[in-house]
Structure 1
Amino acid sequence: MTACAAAAVLLTGCGGAKPKPEPADGSKGPAASASAPSAPAKAGGATHEVTLEVGGTGTTAVMYNGIGSGFGQQTLPWSKSGTAELTAAEQKVGYLVSVIPGTINGADGTLQQAPCVIKVDGKKVAESDGVTTAKGCSYTIK
Structure 2
Amino acid sequence: MRKTATLTISLLATALLATGCGSEKKDDSPVKTSKASPSTSAGSEAKGSSLGKKGVPHQVAFEVGGAGAAQVMWNGNSHHFEQVTLPWTKTETVQLEGAELKVGVTVSVVPGSVRGPDGMLKPAPCTIKVDGKRVADNQDGKSPKLCQYKLKD
Same fold (TM over 0.5): yes
Q: Offset of 1:69 from its aligned partner?
A: 2.2
| 2:114 aligns with one of 100, 104, 108 | 104
Q: Within the alignment, does 1:85 sit opposite 2:95 as a pair?
A: yes
- Structure that is richer in helix per residue: 2
Task: Quote the RMSD (CA, aligned, Å).
Answer: 2.0
Q: How many residues align?
A: 104
Structure 1 CA distance for aligned equivalents of residues 111 and 148 of structure 2: 11
Question: What is the DSSP-based 3-state SS (H/G/I as helix, E as strand, rest coil) of the residue aligned with 1:57?
Answer: strand
Q: Offset of 1:68 from its aligned partner?
A: 3.0
The gaps in structure 1 that reach 5 residues or longer are 1-23, 26-40
> How many percent of aligned residue pairs carry the same amino acid?
51
- Which letter maps to 1:65? N
The answer for the alignment partner of 1:130 in structure 2 is: 141
Question: What is the DSSP-based 3-state SS (H/G/I as helix, E as strand, rest coil) of the residue aligned with 2:67?
Answer: coil
| 1:61 aligns with one of 65, 71, 96 | 71
Q: TM-score, normalised by structure 2?
A: 0.62
The answer for the alignment partner of 1:70 in structure 2 is: 80
Please tell me whether the aligned partners of residues 50 and 121 of structure 1 are also in contact (alpha carbons under 8 angstroms). yes
Please tell me whether the aligned partners of residues 59 and 94 of structure 2 are also in contact (alpha carbons under 8 angstroms). yes
Q: Offset of 1:91 from its aligned partner?
A: 2.2
Q: Offset of 1:83 from its aligned partner?
A: 0.4
Instruction: Answer with 87-96 or 69-78: which moved more.
Output: 87-96
Please tell me whether the aligned partners of residues 76 and 92 of structure 2 are also in contact (alpha carbons under 8 angstroms). no
Q: Offset of 1:42 from its aligned partner?
A: 4.7
Q: TM-score, normalised by structure 1?
A: 0.67
Task: Report runs of 4+ in structure 1 exceeding 6 Å deviation.
Answer: none
Give the number of the structure whose alpha-carbon radius of gyration is greater. 2
Question: What is the DSSP-based 3-state SS (H/G/I as helix, E as strand, rest coil) of the residue aligned with 1:91?
Answer: helix
Please tell me whether the aligned partners of residues 115 and 136 of structure 1 are also in contact (alpha carbons under 8 angstroms). no
The answer for the alignment partner of 1:48 in structure 2 is: 58
Structure 1 CA distance for aligned equivalents of residues 97 and 77 of structure 2: 14
